[in-house]
Amino acid sequence: MMKRWVHYKPPRWPALAMALLLAGAWLVIGLPSQAAPGQAGKGAGHGHARNIILIVGDGTSHSLLQAARLVAAGPSGRLAVDELPHTASVLTHSANSLVTDSAAAATAMATGVKTVNGAVGVDAGGKAVPTVLERAKAAGKAVGLVTTSYITDATPAAFAAHVTNRADTTAIAAQMLERGVDVILGGGENDFLPADQNGCYPQPGKRTDGRDLMAEARSQGYTTICRADELDELAGRPVKKVLGLFADGDLFPALYQEVGAAAGDDGGKSGGDVPSLATMTARAIEVLARNPKGFFLLVEEEGTDELAHARDVAGAVRAARGLDAAVEVALRFARDRRDTLVIVVGDHETGGLAIQGTGNGYSSDPQAPCPAGAEGPFRTPDGQAFCLSQATAAHTGQPVPIAAYGPGAARVTGVLDNTDVARIMLAAMGLNRKP
C-alpha cells in the first residue's frame, strides 16, 4: 500500500531564535570531531586508525587474566589490559566444530571468514581469503608479526599465508617473505633453512627444497638477527625490514617455565638469547612506525595456551603477565597519539581454568591447602591466597575477552563473533570495502 505523504509546515520561529539555532548547528556539524577534555587519554573510540596493533593471547580467558591480576596487583588492582575502555565477549566456534583450534580462530580474525580446524588463511572449501595484513600492505602500510611461538605457527601464519594444513610450516615461511612482511620476530629458525644447514641454533633446517630463506631475506633488504642483544642494538637504527628468529622452535619456554626461566614473575624480561614479548613489540613498533602511511602489527603470546595444555598453570599465569607487559608497550605508544587502535583478544580458551579459594574453597588463608586437584596456593601482594584448577588440557568452547583502545574501538561492544574482529579492524582503517 502506497504511503500518503503529508506536507509539514514548521512553526514560525522568531528570526533571532532561528539564527541562534542555525549558528549552533554549524558549530556542531561544521567543526572537526574532538574528544571531550580528558577523553583522549581514555581511548576515545571513534574515527579512523592509521595504525592497528592486534594483540592475541592464545588460549587466554577471563579467568587467566584474573589470576594474573590477582598475582600482579591484588583483588583491587588492575592490569594494563584493564585500561582499554571498550570491552566485549567473543564467540569462537569454527566452521566444523564448536571448539576451535588456533588456526581456524586466527583465520576468522584475520579474514572475517570461518574455516575448518587446521586450515590457515583459507575458507572452509580451501580457497585463499585476503587477510587484514594483506589488505593493509596493499594500502601502503608497513606490516609485522611478533610471537613467542615459532613464527610459522597457526596464529601468525593465518595473517600472512594460505595453506589447508597448519603443519605445512616451510610453505608458510616462504609465503611470509612473499607477502613482504616487514617485521618478523619469533622462533622457528629451522623453517627458514635447508636440511643440510644449521643457523644460530642446534637443529638443522627443515626445508627439503634447498632454499635458504635467511639468505633470500637479506637479499631483499632484511636485517636478519638471532639474539636478544642484536634486537636491542636495532634501537634507533633506521632499518625498515627485520627478520629475527631467536630459537629453533618456541620462545615461551625460556621466558616462563620454571627450568631456565629468566623472566621472573612479571614476564617483562628477556631470557638469554630470547627477547621478551614486550621487547619484541617495542622494537617492531619502532620499525613499522617509520612508514608514513601507518602500520598493522600482530602480536601473539603463545605461552598462555601451550603452558595450559601442559597443565602448568603457574607458567600460564607468568605468560599472561608477559602478555600484559606487551599491552603496556602498545598502550604507551597509542596514548601519545590519536591514530592507533589497540585490540587485545583471546583466540579461544584453553584448560577450563577456575579460580578457587583455599581450605574449604571459601578462604584466602595462605596457610590453608588447596582443594584436591587444584594447584597453589598463589599469593596476592597483600598476602591473600587462591588456587587454580583446570577442567581439561584441551581447548574449550567458552567465549573469550576482547578489549580495545583508540579510533574504531567503540565497535567493540556486546557479544561478538571472532569474524567481527577482522571487520572492526578493516573498518577502522577505512578498508572495509571488498578488494
Average pLDDT of the residues in 35-52: 62
Range with lowest mean pLDDT among 10-14, 47-51, 102-106, 362-366:
10-14
Q: Could you tell me the pLDDT band of residue 300, with boundaries at 50, 70 and 90?
A: very high
Confidence of residue 43 (pLDDT cuts 50, 70, 90): low
Q: Name the more confident of 218 and 236.
A: 218
User: By the 8 A CB rule, do 207 and 188 touch?
Assistant: no
Instruction: Identify the band that residue 236 occupies on the pLDDT scale cut at 50, 70 and 90.
Output: confident
From the list 172, 180, 107, the residue with the least C-alpha distance to 137 is: 180
Task: Work out the mean pLDDT of the chain and round it to a whole number.
Answer: 89
Q: What is the dihedral of CA 43, 47, 49, 52, to 10 degrees?
A: 50
What is the pLDDT at residue 4? 35
pLDDT at 356: 97
Q: Which residues are part of the catalytic machinery?
A: 102
What stretches of 111-237 adopt beta strand conformation (E)? 142-150, 183-187, 223-225
DSSP H/E element including 357: none
Segment 303-353, tens digit of pLDDT? 999 999 999 999 999 999 999 999 999 999 999 899 999 999 999 999 999
Q: How many other CB atoms are found less than 10 A from the CB of residue 327?
A: 28
How far, in Å, CA of 109 to CA of 93, rounded?
Answer: 12
* Distance in angstroms (rounded) separating the CA atoms of residues 179 and 161: 8
pLDDT tens by residue, 161-189: 999 999 999 999 999 999 999 999 999 99
Burial class (CB in 10 A: 0-12, 13-18, 19+), 24: exposed
How far apart, in whole angstroms, are the C-alpha atoms of residue 420 and residue 411? 9
Dihedral pair phi/psi, residue 315, rounded to 5°: -65, -40
In angstroms, the CA 353 to CA 376 distance is 13
Query: Residue 128: beta bridge partners?
Result: 122
* Model confidence at 8: pLDDT above 60: no
Apex 301 CA angle, 339 and 219, nearest 5 = 75
Distance CA 110, CA 105 (A): 9
Every domain of the chain and the residues it spans: 40-353+390-429, 360-389
Residue 2 has a pLDDT of 38
Higher-confidence residue: 347 or 29?
347
Residue 10 CB neighbours (<10 A): 6
Q: What is the pLDDT of residues 344-401, one digit of tens each?
A: 999 999 999 999 999 999 999 999 999 999 999 999 999 999 999 999 999 999 999 9
CATH architecture of 40-353+390-429: 3-Layer(aba) Sandwich (3.40)
Distance CA 341, CA 52 (A): 5
The grid coordinates of residue 109 equal 580474525
Instruction: Supply the pLDDT for residue 12.
Output: 42
* Banded model confidence at residue 268, pLDDT cuts 50, 70, 90: low
* CA torsion through residues 413, 396, 169, 234, sign: positive
Cell of 148: 613467542
- Answering whether pTM is above 0.85, one says yes
- In sequence order, the β-bridge partners of residue 415 are 89
Per-residue pLDDT at 18: 36
Under a CB-based contact definition with an 8 Å cutoff, are residues 349 and 66 in contact? no
The cell numbers describing 165, all together, are: 594444513
